[in-house]
Amino acid sequence: MIAQLSRLDELAVVSGRPRFEEKLHVGRPNIGDRAALMGRIEDMLDRLWLTNNGPLVQEFEARLADYLGVEHVICMCNATVALEIAIRALGLTGEVIVPSFTFVATAHALQWQEITPVFCDVDPASHNLDPRQVERLITPRTSGIIGVHVWGRPCAIEELSEIAARRNLKLMFDAAHAFGNSYGGQMIGGFGAVEIFSFHATKFFNTFEGGAVATNDAELATKIRLMKNFGFAGYDNVIYIGTNGKMSEVSAAMGLTSLESVDTFIAANKRNHHAYRRGLAGLPGVQVIAYDDGERCNYQYMIVEVDEAAAGISRDDLVRVLHAENVMARRYFYPGCHEMEPYRSYFPHSHLLLPETEKLTQRVMSLPSGTAVGPDEIGPICEIIRAAVENPDALRPYLAAADGRH
């Protein structure tokens, strides 16, 4: 009992002294070889070719196509614009079925072009679209399905492909989390009509800002290339409606450099994942989500599900405990897209149709990983979580006080 209390005293919600002096963030950028990056940037400056399908973008696209085992990769300024363009190039209209348990960009990319995102519930085991629910939401206005490989774990690709084929719907994937991952031994990027990656600075593989579309459909690739460059087919020759989705050369320089270190980044994530797994083993109500070790996986998201009934402490309180220690755990995805505007106003009753999504938005948190943290941080983070879960009653008054301060 005394030992437990002394550990409780060590928690910052009690003592006011955080375990970490500097904040540990989720999604700190991974940076590759600086000299290689600077070399590419120097060459770029010498060339005076900063954007508009320069040599670095061309090289990056070729390397990505090779890495992903797909025929066409089109780099873009970010994944949201890549989603918007892919949606438009695929000719989606009316209603499109998407999960609510995703980053809001998946829904916004539809609504931005006045296509209605129809939110579908997820499978609580995979956190991904539940194919049986998808089938029930199809109406005469439905034109497509966008699956999201949440945390990089592949969607029910086969079931969704079967439904899309049988009901004559387009299928695409938001693969923003799944760069470097495989399904059935085949790299994510080649499934559905098109898959979209994000290379935002908070993703484990970044180009500062950036994204890419991957497809094996040559016609679609041509359309997407036109759309991301104002519809220019050549000098002074616009043959299509387009926007500006181009990736700049400096982003491609970062991308090429990141690609050279991608295995190192993944190894750090994997090491961290297993360190958390060991550190949190056996804690009631605290479950680290598992990845399939038989597939290629980037392990970028360190996701924990907190079952308040079993843990004795809610996810939100655990996040409070961690924030007091300067461990900036994040509630993900919180709230669900259906609870954000404009969807909340458009579909005020959708939460009734999304019970599993609602539960997950209350249970899931993301912990710091990537090259910015290692065993020296993860050990203490796990001790903090363990101390909180082992003393929920004693902590309650302190949490109420901490809540008042936030």
Ligand X SMILES: *Cc1c(COP(=O)(O)O)cnc(C)c1O
User: Which residue in 19, 127, 170, 200 binds ligand X (CB under 6 A)?
Assistant: 200
| Residue 27: partners with Cβ closer than 8 Å, 6 or more residues away | 201, 202, 203, 370
Is residue 176 near ligand X by the rule CB under 6 A?
A: yes
Is residue 245 near ligand X by the rule CB under 6 A?
A: no
Q: Which is nearer to ligand X, 49 or 334 (CB)?
A: 334
Q: Which is nearer to ligand X, 100 or 198 (CB)?
A: 198
Secondary structure (3-state) at 402:
helix
From 170, 203, 228, 246, active-site residue? 203
**Crossing angle of helices 249-260/262-280, nearest 10°?**
60
> How many residues of this chain interact with ligand X, rule: CB under 6 A?
14
CA distance 5 to 131: 48
Secondary structure (3-state) at 171:
strand
User: Which residue in 32, 99, 131, 211 binds ligand X (CB under 6 A)?
Assistant: 211
Helices then strands, counting H and E runs in the chain, come out as 17, 17
CA distance 112 to 72: 26
Strand segments (E) across 36-115? 72-76, 95-99
Q: Which is nearer to ligand X, 174 or 377 (CB)?
A: 174
Considering just the CA atoms, what is the radius of gyration of the chain in Å?
Answer: 22
**Interacting residues with ligand X between 308 and 347 (CB under 6 A):** none
Shortest distance, position 229 Cβ to ligand X, whole Å = 18
106 to 145: interface string for ligand X, x by CB under 6 A: x---------------------------------------
3-state DSSP of 287-347: EECCCCCCCCCCCCCEEEEECHHHHCCCHHHHHHHHHHCCEECEECCCCCHHHCCCHHHHC
Shortest distance, position 150 Cβ to ligand X, whole Å = 7
| Residue 121: partners with Cβ closer than 8 Å, 6 or more residues away | 99, 100, 130, 133, 353, 354, 355, 356, 357
User: Which residue in 30, 102, 272, 371 binds ligand X (CB under 6 A)?
Assistant: 102
Is residue 177 near ligand X by the rule CB under 6 A?
A: yes
Q: Which is nearer to ligand X, 174 or 195 (CB)?
A: 174
| Residue 196: partners with Cβ closer than 8 Å, 6 or more residues away | 79, 82, 83, 86, 172, 173, 174, 175, 176, 211, 212, 213, 214
For ligand X, which stretch binds (CB under 6 A), given 65-73, 171-179, 186-194, 214-222? 171-179
For ligand X, which stretch binds (CB under 6 A), given 54-62, 102-110, 216-224, 267-275? 102-110
Structure token pair of residue 154? 């592949």
Shortest distance, position 140 Cβ to ligand X, whole Å = 28
Structure token pair of residue 405? 């301060």
User: Are 109 and 80 contacting, i.e. CB atoms less than 8 angstroms apart?
Assistant: yes
Shortest distance, position 338 Cβ to ligand X, whole Å = 15
Is residue 357 near ligand X by the rule CB under 6 A?
A: no
User: Are 160 and 147 contacting, i.e. CB atoms less than 8 angstroms apart?
Assistant: yes
Shortest distance, position 364 Cβ to ligand X, whole Å = 14
Shortest distance, position 199 Cβ to ligand X, whole Å = 7
Q: Which is nearer to ligand X, 249 or 317 (CB)?
A: 249
User: Which residue in 101, 103, 299, 398 binds ligand X (CB under 6 A)?
Assistant: 103
69 to 98: interface string for ligand X, x by CB under 6 A: ---------xxx------------------
CA distance 181 to 400: 41
Residue 203 annotated among the catalytic residues of the structure: yes
Shortest distance, position 164 Cβ to ligand X, whole Å = 20
| Residue 294: partners with Cβ closer than 8 Å, 6 or more residues away | none
Binding footprint of ligand X on the chain (CB under 6 A): 78-80, 102-103, 105-106, 148, 174, 176-177, 198, 200, 211
Active site residues: 203
